[in-house]
């Protein structure tokens, strides 16, 4: 039974402490690792103003890293606005499976290719449970801000690869939309990717 200040996870009826959701890892999900990969300005913006084209300001080195990660992991999850921003580049490719979260999967019926490009209105917990049951061990979460918020609120993210480009944007979307999350991270590595000072940080969620 949930008490005041707790939110009941509608999927399994587990309760989720609003104050520290990222530290609550549901037992059911423990076999499935979710890795967040994002690139941001030094002040935490993932878009410049509202321009969805991030390739205008991200470095070649970050793009190479991102594509290396995509080639190592078959499963990628994103929100519908990220899909819209990248849709030109999202084509069926080998065993890669892309799952796009949207409240209106029917709107994307023509773009659906089962096993390769799929649209789902599941909650993050439902999706990760289903994919874990299908045998997946890892999923890459590639944004955007709103989708990231949902995964952090559900305590589902295990690792973060954050590239920091040496830029400052006065306006733009933040890496995780405001919400009810509060996580502690442990730094695993820092890598300088180029001369101008693009940094790649790897963090793990610290279980406390």
State how far the Cα of 131 lies from the Cα of 134, in Å rounded to an integer.
5
Nearer to ligand NAP, 97 or 152 (CB): 152
Q: Which residues bind ligand NAP (CB under 6 A)?
A: 38-40, 46-47, 52, 54, 78-82, 85, 101-104, 121, 123-124, 142-147, 150, 173, 177
Report, in Å, the least distance between residue 172 CB and ligand NAP: 9
Task: State how beta strands 199-205 and 185-192 pair.
Answer: antiparallel
Report, in Å, the least distance between residue 100 CB and ligand NAP: 8
Nearer to ligand NAP, 35 or 39 (CB): 39
Nearer to ligand NAP, 101 or 205 (CB): 101
CA-based Rg of the chain, rounded to a whole angstrom?
A: 17
Nearer to ligand NAP, 88 or 208 (CB): 88
State how far the Cα of 205 lies from the Cα of 183, in Å rounded to an integer.
7
Report, in Å, the least distance between residue 84 CB and ligand NAP: 8
Q: Minimal CA–CA distance to 25: which of 37, 5, 9, 4?
A: 9
CB of 184 within 8 A of CB of 23? Answer: yes
Report, in Å, the least distance between residue 177 CB and ligand NAP: 6
Q: What are phi and psi of 112, to 5 degrees?
A: -75, 130
């Amino acid at each position: 039974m949930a008490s005041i200040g707790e939110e009941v996870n509608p999927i399994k009826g587990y309760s989720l402490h609003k104050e520290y959701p990222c530290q609550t890892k549901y037992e059911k999900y423990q076999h499935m690792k979710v890795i967040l990969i994002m690139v941001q300005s030094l002040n935490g913006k993932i878009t410049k103003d509202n321009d969805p084209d991030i390739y205008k300001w991200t470095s070649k080195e970050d793009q190479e890293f991102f594509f290396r990660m995509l080639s190592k992991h078959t499963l990628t999850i994103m929100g519908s606005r990220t899909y819209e921003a990248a849709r030109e580049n999202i084509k069926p490719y080998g065993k890669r499976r892309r799952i796009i979260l949207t409240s209106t999967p029917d709107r994307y019926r023509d773009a659906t290719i089962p096993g390769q490009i799929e649209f789902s209105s599941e909650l993050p917990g439902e999706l990760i449970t289903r994919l874990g049951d299908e045998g997946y061990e890892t999923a890459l979460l590639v944004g955007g801000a709103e989708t990231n918020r949902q995964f952090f609120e559900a305590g589902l993210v295990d690792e973060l690869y954050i590239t920091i480009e040496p830029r400052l944007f006065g306006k733009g979307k933040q890496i995780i939309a405001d919400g009810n999350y509060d996580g502690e991270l442990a730094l695993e590595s820092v890598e300088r990717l180029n001369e101008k000072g693009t940094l790649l940080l790897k963090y793990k969620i610290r279980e406390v």
